[in-house]
Structure 1
Amino acid sequence: MARHIYRCPLRWSDMDAFGHVNNTVFLRYLEEARVDFMFRRAPEAGGQSLSSGTVVARHEIDYLRPLVHRHEPVTVETWVTKIGAASATLQYEVKDEDQLYARAVTVIVPYNLAEGRPRRLSPEEREFLEGYRDEPAGEAVAA
């Protein structure tokens, strides 16, 4: 199946005192990839629902090796490993061609912003997510 590819720039402010990208910044990289997936890719595929409201219910991340700041962007691959009635599980790999820096999982929940409560996935959302469904990668993160 397809994976969403996002080229994420590294910023000078991403570094910690040891010259590595700070562990909390990885969550921002995941967020940028997820927003690109749901707010750019989903509408391009003909659906607007995911961009109208979702919340993160859970994050899990394994840091596999330090990412040293540099000028070249890092690649964040995103795909769907599970689709429920009112949630979806996304998995990510933060990597370069020859290095894997982190593997992560996020559970997203569609959310009705006007009513202030979770909602079920629409058929349109399911169809979009199914196009990116793949098996979980690696042993380090299980969802």
Structure 2
Amino acid sequence: MARRTYSCPLRWSDMDAFGHVNNAVFLRYLEEARIDFLFGSEFGKGDHSFSDGSVVARHEIDYLRPLVHRPEPVVIESWVTHISRASLTMAYEVKDEERVYARASTVVVPIDRETGRPRRITDAERELLAAFRDDAVEAVEAVEGEAVEGAVAV
């Protein structure tokens, strides 16, 4: 299983009043990693491109510990946990060398830009997505072995 790695800078404006990266900002971090995954890699080229568009159907985030602003970026690892006929589920870990700050998943639906309707995932897209597939990690790791050290402020 391969994971796509994205280095995400932390911005001063990402912090909330309590000195943590705000919970809503994590969605922006996931978006940056997802765009890098779908458009900055093999997927952004040729007939297996998601460049016609896609929409997010669902997000799920487990905040494991507060992320405090610092000059070093965090790493966001992305991989695929499910591929259906017309959607895919991506999983993420937001982390540094010492800690995992959040685990998340997103259901992405490719769309036909002309009609604005969902479209099928092509065989070429399915083949590329399969190279980043791992089903076993997301459910078990999100629950076991990690106590939440602090909630992320709203």
| TM-score (structure 2 length as normaliser) | 0.86
What secondary structure does 1:121 align onto?
coil
1:124 CA drift (Å): 1.1
Q: Take 1:140 and 1:115, find their aligned partners in 2: how far apart are those partners?
A: 40
Aligned counterpart, 1:95:
95
Unaligned runs of at least 5 residues, structure 2: 145-154
Per-residue deviation, residues 91-113 of structure 1 (Å, max 9, x unmatched): 00000111010000100001011
Residue 139 (structure 1) aligned with residue 142 (structure 2)? yes
Aligned counterpart, 2:152:
none
Q: Take 2:134 and 2:80, find their aligned partners in 1: how far apart are those partners?
A: 6
1:45 CA drift (Å): 6.6
Q: Percent identity?
A: 63
Q: Take 2:8 and 2:14, find their aligned partners in 1: how far apart are those partners?
A: 12
Aligned counterpart, 2:14:
14
Check conservation: 2:74, 2:95, Cα contact below 8 A.
yes
Change (3 A) 1:5 1:68: same
Aligned counterpart, 2:76:
76
What secondary structure does 1:132 align onto?
coil
1:25 CA drift (Å): 0.2
Q: Take 1:80 and 1:134, find their aligned partners in 2: how far apart are those partners?
A: 6
Check conservation: 1:45, 1:128, Cα contact below 8 A.
no
Unaligned runs of at least 5 residues, structure 1: none
Q: Take 1:114 and 1:93, find their aligned partners in 2: how far apart are those partners?
A: 34
Check conservation: 1:4, 1:79, Cα contact below 8 A.
yes
Q: Take 2:62 and 2:46, find their aligned partners in 1: how far apart are those partners?
A: 33
Aligned counterpart, 2:66:
66
Aligned counterpart, 1:106:
106
Change (3 A) 1:36 1:25: same
The one-letter amino acid of 1:42's match is E
Q: Take 1:47 and 1:102, find their aligned partners in 2: how far apart are those partners?
A: 33
What secondary structure does 2:50 align onto?
helix
| TM-score (structure 1 length as normaliser) | 0.93
Aligned counterpart, 1:33:
33
Q: How many residues align?
A: 141
The one-letter amino acid of 2:15's match is M
Query: How large is the RMSD of aligned CA atoms in angstroms?
Result: 1.6
1:134 CA drift (Å): 0.9
